[in-house]
Amino acid sequence: MIISIFGLGYVGCVGMGCMAQSGHTVIGVDVAPEKVERINSGKATIVEKDIDELIANAHALKLIRATHDYKEAVLHSDISFLCVGTPSTDKGHLNLDYIYQTAKEIGEALEEKSTFHVVVIRSTVLPGTNDKLSAIIEKFSGKVRDIDFAVVSNPEFLREGTAVADYMNPPLTVLGSSCSKAIHIMQELYKNTNSPIEVVAVEVAELIKYVNNSYHALKVVFANEVGSVCKQLGVDSHEVMRIFCMDKQLNISPYYFKPGFAYGGSCLPKDLKALNTLAHDLYMETPVLNAIDDSNVKHLNRVVQMIEHTQKRKIGVLGLSFKAGTDDMRNSPIVSIIENLSGKGCEVRIYDKNVALSRLIGKNKSVITEKLPHLNSMLQDSLHSVLAWAEVLVVANKEDEFKTLVLSDNQIVIDLVRIPELEKQKNYKGLCW
């Protein structure tokens, strides 16, 4: 394929070298004369492992060149990659002026072109940018999106220092577009890349890079806070984190990475509080660790707000223990929700096949005594009776019997744990999806 790349900085230069290595012809476009001159001399525009050799080899094979002429680049290519900068403004917003200007230029060029053209957004942009870019190109080209051209969101996952290796062996390739023809062309372009290709909604493709990098920043800060606590205790922090990273079932896995209800149970709240208390006793500031519980409480508040927003008073709660398949109510987040609703005058009835008042002992019994002294009047033996009575059903854990609920047209279901079978219900509301 013949490819044009707008922006010959980090992402653009690496893309140029790697695509040329795969046998594609690449035309670079940049407003900076020195970058155009370097590419046309067979030199990279950045300092990065292996890129000098790739650019030099591609130049020698006449697979790459650079120009200031955006029209010439678009008219002589099949795909245009947008790799221009999206810097932050003083207030933290993205400055998308460069990418919108590039879209205008591509639109002007496409006015003179009769064949289908794919525009690929590699720059990091927020949701909605793909749609706005398409509108700009339509305006300046007079062409119709998804018929004469299409815009594909294809975020990059490159790390400085290993960018060439990352390009050739990415963890995955993400593609988002409203045009199936453009997706097929991009799948063909990436067919030899050693990674799965994930075709997703445009908005998912636009947002994922921000989620990735925010999490990477969180990991750095988390490890540093743990390391600081370890140092004060005289504990080897690298050994602690080495052991932490060995757990691939929970610590480094997809297990907890599913938006849902707040955490609870006997371990997470207790141990987090203990670590925070330890840091406090050492006169240390650990703002990330301190913020975890506060964020969890705010998540619980969202549940209360969702229920209040229904303006209904008869609330049926399905699931009382902190997770399915247990009767453990220690720090069960739904207990706090029920306590809050009762205090606001709501009538609450609860069904949980694993919880029986006659079997409550120890900490479970004290939870009820302290927080839900009237549980005996709330707890029902029959799921059917709660379904028949409630105006709003709050699903708080993933018992199999909740998958087949049959609701009336007037009933509202608020799902805190995401049971896919419930999403077809008429008045379904997910907590954070």
- On whether the CB atoms of residues 81 and 19 are closer than 8 A, the answer is no
Tell me phi and psi for residue 197, to 5 degrees.
Answer: -105, 120
Instruction: Count CA atoms within 13 Å of residue 137 on its CB side.
Output: 30
**Distance between CA 97 and CA 85 in Å, rounded?**
9
- On whether the CB atoms of residues 202 and 131 are closer than 8 A, the answer is yes
Tell me phi and psi for residue 155, to 5 degrees.
Answer: -60, 145
- On whether the CB atoms of residues 126 and 87 are closer than 8 A, the answer is no
Distance of CA 318 to the CA centre of its chain: 29
**Distance between CA 367 and CA 8 in Å, rounded?**
62
DSSP 294-305: HHHHHHHHHHHH
Q: Which segments of 18-130 are extended strands (E)? A: 25-29, 64-67, 79-82, 117-121
The H or E element that residue 208 is part of is: helix 202-233
Tokens of 191: 């067919």
- Residue positions annotated with a catalytic role: 267
Virtual CA dihedral for 245, 246, 252, 256, nearest 10 degrees?
Answer: -110
Query: Coil, strand or helix: which one is 2?
Result: strand
DSSP 112-171: T--S-EEEEE-S---TTHHHHHHHHHHHHH---BTTTEEEEE------TTSHHHHHHS-S
- On whether the CB atoms of residues 346 and 315 are closer than 8 A, the answer is yes
Amino acid (one-letter) located at 247: D
Virtual CA dihedral for 83, 86, 87, 90, nearest 10 degrees?
Answer: 170
Q: Which residue has the tokens 């919108």?
A: 100
Tokens of 163: 């960018």
